[in-house]
């Protein structure tokens, strides 16, 4: 199946977020093997700031130890690795920073084209999680207040009308508060586009409740960095939900 079509399935899916700065080669191997065995749907690879120059190598290791599709989730225009399967071509539609809406994209476009990566236009929305996160700081943008469901829904609708193929609501990596279920439901009811939610999801109970609220693709990063064996439990919960 074409990678873009993998995102359009009528079932819940799990994405494991890999921050190449944070995982050693040994940890990457374990994570890749566990994800493969557990039947995880995607790896998302990226971060708001990357200092290690490990992006290409991390993708290589993930692909060596698994068949799970590897999708770049870039924090800026430098995060392009041609050995991945696709790139979320993210526009930060919750913010009003022109660089994050279009500027970085112009810089990245020729390199993305040369890389041959499949691009998946994604409307990226930051949702306030109570305190500043790396991504709000690095993107120089305000997140959507987490009780403003109407703003979130209208932003997602506008993204969809602009042609985005995915909407990604993110509370930010390591967020203390996840995107509220009420907001997820509100947004989900306003769009047809598959909805990705991530940031601060640490338990299978939370995974369950964000799926019940309407999330199509759940992203988990930090919790699996701490314990890659939890991938099995989380993937099992997604499978049970789809059964």
Minimum distance of ligand 1GP from residue 110's CB (angstroms): 26
Minimum distance of ligand 1GP from residue 223's CB (angstroms): 6
Name which of 135, 131, 127, 142 is nearest 181 in CA terms. 127
Among 40, 201, 213, 231, binds ligand 1GP (CB under 6 A): 201
Residue 222 touches ligand 1GP, criterion: CB under 6 A: yes
CB 105 within 8 A of CB 111: no
Q: For residues 164 and 91, give the distance between their C-alpha atoms in angstroms, rounded to a whole number.
A: 9
Minimum distance of ligand 1GP from residue 173's CB (angstroms): 4
User: In the complex with ligand 1GP, which residue's Cβ is closer, 235 or 243?
Assistant: 235
Residue 123 touches ligand 1GP, criterion: CB under 6 A: no
Residue 221 touches ligand 1GP, criterion: CB under 6 A: yes
Q: Residues with Cβ < 8 Å from 127, sequence gap 6 or more? A: 94, 143, 144, 146, 152, 169, 170, 171, 179, 180, 183, 199
Among 16, 200, 210, 235, binds ligand 1GP (CB under 6 A): 200
Strands 166-170 vs 118-126: parallel, antiparallel or unpaired: parallel
- Residues 148-177 within binding reach of ligand 1GP (CB under 6 A): 170, 172-175
Residue 199 touches ligand 1GP, criterion: CB under 6 A: yes
Choices 32-40, 100-108, 197-205, 230-238; region in contact with ligand 1GP by CB under 6 A: 197-205
Q: Which residue is nearest to ligand 1GP (CB)?
A: 198
Minimum distance of ligand 1GP from residue 15's CB (angstroms): 8
CB 111 within 8 A of CB 80: yes
User: In the complex with ligand 1GP, which residue's Cβ is closer, 64 or 80?
Assistant: 80
CB 80 within 8 A of CB 117: yes
The footprint of ligand 1GP on this chain (CB under 6 A) covers a number of residues equal to: 15
CB 190 within 8 A of CB 167: no
Name which of 185, 232, 200 is nearest 17 in CA terms. 200
Q: What sign does the dihedral 197-201-207-210 (CA atoms) show?
A: negative
User: In the complex with ligand 1GP, which residue's Cβ is closer, 83 or 177?
Assistant: 177
Residues that bind ligand 1GP (CB under 6 A): 17, 170, 172-175, 198-201, 219-223
């Amino acid at each position: 199946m074409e990678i873009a079509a993998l995102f359009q399935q009528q079932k819940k899916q799990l994405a494991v977020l890999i921050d190449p700065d944070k995982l050693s080669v040994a940890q990457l191997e374990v994570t890749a093997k566990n994800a493969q065995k557990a039947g995880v749907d995607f790896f998302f690879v990226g971060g708001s700031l990357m200092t290690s120059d490990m992006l290409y190598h991390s993708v290589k290791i993930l692909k060596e130890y698994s068949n799970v599709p590897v999708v770049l989730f870039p924090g800026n225009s430098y995060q392009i690795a041609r050995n991945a399967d696709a790139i979320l071509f993210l526009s930060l539609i919750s913010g009003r920073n022109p660089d994050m809406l279009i500027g970085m994209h112009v810089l990245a476009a020729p390199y993305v084209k040369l890389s041959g990566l499949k691009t998946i236009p994604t409307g990226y929305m930051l949702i306030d999680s109570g305190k500043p996160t790396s991504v709000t700081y690095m993107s120089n943008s305000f997140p959507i207040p987490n009780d403003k469901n109407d703003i979130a829904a209208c932003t997602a609708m506008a993204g969809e009308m602009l042609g985005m193929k995915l909407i990604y609501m993110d509370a930010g990596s390591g967020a203390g508060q996840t995107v509220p279920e009420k907001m997820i439901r509100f947004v989900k009811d306003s769009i047809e586009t598959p909805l990705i939610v991530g940031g601060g999801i640490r338990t299978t109970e939370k995974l369950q409740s964000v799926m019940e609220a309407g999330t199509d693709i759940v992203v988990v990063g930090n919790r699996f960095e701490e314990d890659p064996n939890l991938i099995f439990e989380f993937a099992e919960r997604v499978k049970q939900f789809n059964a």
